[in-house]
Copies of this chain bind each other. A is one copy, B any other.
């Protein structure tokens, strides 16, 4: 149990077999010009001595590493845990490891994270950049040093790097159309901070859906708040105080939708019969509340997978030619649950 395994190197294997350490290296990496018999012997001794490759030395010598750096705001947030899962899955399949760094949405941390990754000689960086971005110099430094950079969740066109984002506009369009199809006539929108482009796109989708379907957009029915339960509650109260209240709400985000639902219930209105509601983000709780919340799924795991895939593609292409930045836009999925289904079958869900 407590015996200690000493450091064993290729040199040790070479000595044991009276061969050169270069041959050992070649044998272990399955070099074509090494005889099967030698490979066999080397593998046996390696196993006997419990040899483990020293990736640090290997990486230094070859100038290549198989580590990808991932920058996220916070691993505790469901969205990023999911993306991380997707990234690690693909990386793992390609025998790459994942180094993570949390920015906590702070510029300073973000900058240190990038620097640490660069010093660690990562093969690439996958990052979700800050919502409030002042300065992107540290990101262009990644590019300048020849390290592939892929963005997810947010795209920054000026950086000239590939990115994976979800089509917020299409999601909002689908959600709003769905409410119209349910027979809703006065559809309100609780919007988010308009300097966040995703929230702006969702507003645009809402407006365009109504326009396309020949419904006049009523400015009174569009209110703005932050992404929080409290804010949703407040904004909904405003909507409920209108002379003619809405019969549906498309909310920019699930937590805001939750707050709105609380306000609707407090006003003794029925969901979805009096007011139908659709959120955005597919937060896990939506499936468990009463009524269950219709929402838009952002394909988070797929986002991570595609970001990782883009990285591996850029690895292969960089050998031959310049790899053009590619913006991958994932199509979100409308999830219709009780909160927006006027004729839903009552179930025993909570």
Contacts and interface: CB of A to CB of B under 8 A. Distances in A.
B120 A97 contact: yes
A284 B258 CA distance: 13
A206 to B, nearest CB: 23
Contact of A81 (B52, B76, B289): B76
Interface in A71-90: 74-78, 80-82, 84-85, 88-89
A5 B350 contact: no
B88 A121 contact: no
A60 B67 contact: no
Given A82-B76, A97-B116, A348-B266, A88 B59 contact: no
Contacts of A261: 350
A15 interface: no
A244 B115 CA distance: 65
Interface string A123-146: 000000000000000001100111
Most chain B beta carbons < 10 A, residue from A78, A120, A285: A120
A26 interface: no
Contacts of A141: 5, 50
A179 B60 CA distance: 61
A242 interface: no
Interface in A246-293: 258, 261-263, 265-266, 284-285, 287-290
A37 to B, nearest CB: 26
A146 B261 CA distance: 55
Contact of A285 (B80, B140, B263, B289): B289
Contact of A290 (B85, B119, B160, B290): B290
Contacts of A243: none
A50 B119 CA distance: 12
Most B CB contacts (10 A, CB to CB) among A50, A76, A262, A284 go to A76
Interface stretch (A98-106, A308-316, A330-338): A98-106
Contacts of A74: 85
A260 to B, nearest CB: 9
A181 interface: no
A54 B65 CA distance: 12
A92 interface: yes
Interface in A288-327: 288-290, 301
